[in-house]
Amino acid sequence: MPAEQFVLLIRSSLLRRYPNALIYLTPALTSTPATALPPDIFPIFNGAMEPDTSFFGFPVSPATAIGNSTNPGYFVVIQEHPTEPRFGLSASISLGNASHLNIGTQPPAGVPLNGHTWGKNSAQMAAITRRLPVRVAIHASQLVSST
């Protein structure tokens, strides 16, 4: 373990809204490796300070996370947990005070069915409306002050 550790401090209501979000480092790559991808690095410690601050410590030095001309460093990834699915459509509808949407028997234009049948049963509708988890990656060098 390095003498210094990269500690990420997040001050945001994001982790209150998504308390099970995954926070990890993934290597920045300059090309696709011929062998397996390098592993992601998960925090070795974390904590929170109410009301909206969280911190995550990683077993790499800040210099390693930031990178240099020979080492591209790491991306900090914040990702929705893959086992906490969300559902919805990206319909261009103004909801206003609507209490429900009349979706009809035909799918709205532009909704990918991906082999499922619109309106067949709840499992098919869940498969159609399931949203993929959101993942945001920001290079560590963008998060560290140069002073």
pLDDT, one tens digit per residue, over 36-69 is 888 999 999 999 998 899 999 999 999 999 999 8
Q: Specify the DSSP class assigned to residue 7.
A: E
**What average pLDDT values come out for the chain (147 residues) when binned by 10 residues?**
87 89 94 84 95 94 93 95 80 54 69 81 84 91 80
How high is the pLDDT of residue 126? Answer: 85
Structural domains of the chain, count: 1
Instruction: Confirm whether 45 is domain-assigned.
Output: yes
**Does 112 reside within a domain?**
no
Q: Are 23 and 81 in contact (CB under 8 A)?
A: no
Q: What per-residue confidence (pLDDT) applies to 42? A: 98
Cα dihedral across residues 40, 144, 46, 20: positive or negative: negative
Q: Is residue 114 part of a domain?
A: no
Domain that holds residue 21: 6-101+132-142
Taking all residues of the chain, what is their mean pLDDT, rounded to a whole number?
85
